[in-house]
């Protein structure tokens, strides 16, 4: 099964005539099989909460993320991946209302991502210590160090953010 971001456009075009969005969720216009209830949202939620619609075409199964499908239905184009990604403004991966979707560069999208297990952006566990890093222009990763305390790692990230990414100083570059 191809990765969802490598799904050919003809799959989106095929689904365009079969799916309508209501309240940010996709619904089948006509049931593709007797097992499908058209009164319920199409597809299933994956482990990260994103709705995925599956479509079989010529004995091949394709998985399409609902937010990418809705963007395609609304605008008849998909932003080129990985340079650009479609983001949920409210961070709810199952709210695919078109006014809740926006296009961000890959770098902007990573900056918007929720913090990991540390509770702080750019801070990750490394054994019994904490590492901090930041991504800047065009996926460049800057390692900020290893710290005993998560708060120290977070402070290093915040300092780097202010230096490299804060709009008030033109990116610090």
Delimit the domains of the chain by residue range. 4-107, 115-172
98-104: long-range pairs with CB below 8 Å, 24+: 98/21, 98/70, 98/71, 98/74, 100/24, 101/67, 101/70, 101/71, 103/79
- Give pLDDT tens digits for 49-75: 899 999 999 999 999 999 999 999 999
CATH for 115-172? 3.30.730.10
158 versus 109: which is more confidently predicted? 158
What CATH topology corresponds to 4-107?
Homing Intron 3 (I-Ppo) Encoded Endonuclease; Chain A (3.90.75)
pTM above 0.75, yes or no: no
């Amino acid at each position: 099964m191809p990765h969802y971001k490598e799904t050919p456009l003809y799959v989106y075009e095929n689904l365009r005539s079969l799916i309508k969005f209501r309240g940010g969720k996709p619904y089948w216009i006509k049931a593709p099989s007797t097992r499908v209830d058209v009164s319920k949202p199409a597809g299933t939620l994956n482990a990260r909460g994103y709705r995925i619609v599956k479509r079989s075409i010529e004995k091949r199964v394709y998985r399409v993320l609902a937010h990418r499908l809705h963007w395609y239905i609304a605008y008849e184009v998909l932003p080129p991946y990985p340079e650009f990604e479609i983001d949920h403004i409210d961070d709810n991966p199952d709210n695919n209302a078109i006014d809740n979707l926006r296009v961000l560069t890959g770098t902007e999208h990573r900056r918007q991502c929720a913090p990991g297990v540390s509770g702080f952006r750019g801070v990750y566990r490394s054994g019994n210590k904490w590492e901090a890093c930041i991504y800047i222009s065009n996926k460049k990763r800057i390692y900020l160090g290893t710290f005993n305390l998560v708060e120290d790692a977070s402070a290093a990230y915040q300092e780097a953010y202010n230096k490299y990414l804060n709009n008030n100083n033109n990116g610090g570059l």
